[in-house]
A and B are shown apart, each in its own frame.
Chain A
Amino acid sequence: MGATEHPNHPQLADTPALISHLLNQVDHLITDLSLVEPLVIGIHTGGVWLAKTIAEHLSAPLGQLDIAFYRDDFSHNGLHPQVSPSSLPFDINNRHLLLVDDVLMSGRTVRAAMNELFDFGRPASIKLVTLCSVNQRELPIQADACALSLSLKPGQYLQLNGPEPLKLSIIESANHE
């Protein structure tokens, strides 16, 4: 298991450029859909780092979700050993939400995050913002804003390291299913 600079994906080397591309996409998304005063919510951990950048860019309020209590693999993997509290310091009822995660892969994290969000209230809409989308979806979930889409080989996955600096890298894992 180890991080590699993958020659097939040179864009990964310049994470700041990807982030700035993502901020552009978010701006367009908000304009195109006329989203009034959206709230930015990051998924722990990488999504929160990214959400902070987006919230600062938009001057929007920031919340964070730890989806450990909503994962669908509790029976198999048990409770994640490090759990941190979710914090939504605002009312999400009838608001437009930008849900932010670093990497969209299976879609299961986003499914869990949406379940958790609905325990806090009924938002007007949820838009999904991810830095990177990997073509290994297991659920019908797609990003509304995404800086980079790529395909990985079995056993590879993407990881955002941070918070300073934010850096995407490919991880090779023999154990990864």
Chain B
Amino acid sequence: MSNLANLQLTKDGELRHFLTPEGLDRLMLERILDTADSFVVVGNQEVKKVPLLRGRTVVNLFFENSTRTRSTFELAAKRLSADVLTLDINTSATSKGESLLDTLQNLRSMHSDMFVIRHSDSGAAHFIASQVTPDVAIINAGDGRHAHPTQAMLDMLTIRRHKGNFEPLTVAIVGDILHSRVARDQIHALKTLGCTDIRLVGPNTLMPYAIESMGVTTHNDMDTGIDGADVVIMLRLQTERMACAFLPSAGEYFRLYGLTTARLAQAKPDAIVMHPGPINRGIEIESAVADGSQSMILNQVGYGIALRMAVMSMAMSGQMQQRQSPIPPNNVTKEPRL
């Protein structure tokens, strides 16, 4: 835990990489959400841009595809006025035999200030932040089955904006917990923010071993799992899992775990429904629910840009302060703003 915190924070406790919510305290997570709240407003301005990262270079390094995450990161960086370079690694020098380390060192020599990294290997972003380019702010945009922290935090932003405090909430996370890179981060973030009733719902074949040790309850039955819930988070069912015999069939899955209007009635009447997207209509969620009044699915996309702007600006801020040390750590908060 403390190692993760140390890697992500400057010696003064400011964010300088964002790899996972694990190890970050409640104050830091709330600061991320507060900052994101302020960026939500920027999306409503006539000019949807602030000059914060003007002159900084952000490189999106996507070693695996993700249209939504990549485009929201790109938009977030552009709305911060950064210069953005998006590298599709499949068509870049690595396919000519250049190693990952050489690619990164080359990008660093171009005075890049931030890498946004998506990689299929768990721990890739941690490795780069700790071993390769510690002086470049690293934002984890999803690594293997391990973490997808900006998705988890944008879910927290959605919950807080629509439900307020986390303490009294019952949150059900439904679906493929085992292969989900976001469920683990959601649990860490929810617990840190004070949520006590976290329920994981799904078949045993898609439930990680001994997950209860994280302080959650598990439910094989959907109706009892979402009974009285304030928030229902549906996870995407990766259809390739069907081939691996984790599930009998998509139809069977929908019958047992698909979120229908009738089933949603088990949750609180004002419960909100979330989904990281892309949604599989008719497999994990019914269209009437996905497009219904309780659905937050499209709100989540907008909040995702604001949340990414928040962690990018905070990490850049931390990196710059680190470079400028020894500036007295407490000067920043005490400096008059006249």
**Complex contact A68–B38 (CB within 8 A):** yes
Tell me, rounded to whole Å, the shortest Cβ–Cβ distance linking A154 to chain B. 13
**Complex contact A176–B337 (CB within 8 A):** no
B227 within 8 A of A: no
Tell me, rounded to whole Å, the shortest Cβ–Cβ distance linking B162 to chain A. 16
Please tell me which one of the listed residues A78, A83, A109, A159 contacts residue B320 in the complex, with CB atoms under 8 A apart: A78
Closest to A74 in B: B52
**Complex contact B318–A78 (CB within 8 A):** yes
| Binary contact track B52-85/A, C-beta < 8 Å → 1, others 0 | 1000000000000000000000000000000000
Contacts of A134 in B (CB 8 A): 338
Closest to B10 in A: A78
**Complex contact A119–B47 (CB within 8 A):** yes
Please tell me which one of the listed residues B46, B324, B333 contacts residue A121 in the complex, with CB atoms under 8 A apart: B46
Closest to A105 in B: B338
| Binary contact track B38-50/A, C-beta < 8 Å → 1, others 0 | 1111100111011
In the docked arrangement, what's the CA distance between A173 and B336, Å? 9
Closest to A72 in B: B51
The total of interchain contacts (Cβ-Cβ below 8 angstroms) comes to: 83
Closest to B314 in A: A79
**Complex contact B38–A86 (CB within 8 A):** yes
A79-B317, A85-B38, A109-B338 are known contacts. Are A175 and B52 too (CB-CB below 8 A)? Answer: no
Contacts of A66 in B (CB 8 A): 38
Contacts of A85 in B (CB 8 A): 37-38, 40-41
- The A62-80 residues at the B interface (CB cut-off 8 A) are 66, 68-70, 74-80
Contacts of B40 in A (CB 8 A): 85
**Complex contact A157–B338 (CB within 8 A):** yes
**Complex contact A176–B335 (CB within 8 A):** yes
A53 within 8 A of B: no
A120 within 8 A of B: yes
B334 within 8 A of A: yes
A74-B317, A119-B45, A119-B46 are known contacts. Are A79 and B52 too (CB-CB below 8 A)? Answer: yes
Contacts of A78 in B (CB 8 A): 14, 317-318, 320-321, 332
In the docked arrangement, what's the CA distance between A175 and B166, Å? 39
Contacts of A159 in B (CB 8 A): 336
A82 within 8 A of B: yes
A90 within 8 A of B: no
Contacts of A106 in B (CB 8 A): 338
Contacts of B313 in A (CB 8 A): 69, 79
B35 within 8 A of A: yes
| Binary contact track B234-247/A, C-beta < 8 Å → 1, others 0 | 00000000000000
**Complex contact A109–B336 (CB within 8 A):** no
Contacts of B317 in A (CB 8 A): 74, 78-79
In the docked arrangement, what's the CA distance between A58 and B313, Å? 38
Contacts of B42 in A (CB 8 A): 69
Closest to A108 in B: B338
Q: How many residues of A contact B (CB 8 A)?
A: 39
**Complex contact B336–A75 (CB within 8 A):** no
Tell me, rounded to whole Å, the shortest Cβ–Cβ distance linking B5 to chain A. 17
**Complex contact A115–B51 (CB within 8 A):** yes
Please tell me which one of the listed residues B31, B39, B334 contacts residue A175 in the complex, with CB atoms under 8 A apart: B334
Closest to A115 in B: B51
Contacts of B328 in A (CB 8 A): 175
| Binary contact track A113-126/B, C-beta < 8 Å → 1, others 0 | 00110111100000
B102 within 8 A of A: no
**Complex contact A87–B338 (CB within 8 A):** no
**Complex contact A81–B333 (CB within 8 A):** yes
| Binary contact track B306-338/A, C-beta < 8 Å → 1, others 0 | 000000011001101100100010011111111
In the docked arrangement, what's the CA distance between A116 and B21, Å? 31
Contacts of B34 in A (CB 8 A): 82-84
Interface centre among A69, A76, A84 (most CB of B within 10 A): A69
A/B interface sample: 29 pairs, CB < 8 A: A69-B42, A69-B51, A70-B51, A74-B317, A74-B320, A75-B320, A78-B318, A78-B320, A78-B321, A78-B332, A79-B313, A79-B317, A80-B337, A81-B31, A83-B38, A84-B34, A85-B41, A86-B41, A103-B338, A104-B338, A105-B338, A115-B51, A118-B47, A119-B49, A120-B45, A120-B46, A121-B46, A173-B334, A175-B331
User: Which residues on A are within 8 Å of B, measured CB to CB?
Assistant: 1, 66, 68-70, 74-87, 103-106, 108-109, 115-116, 118-121, 134, 157-159, 171, 173, 175-176
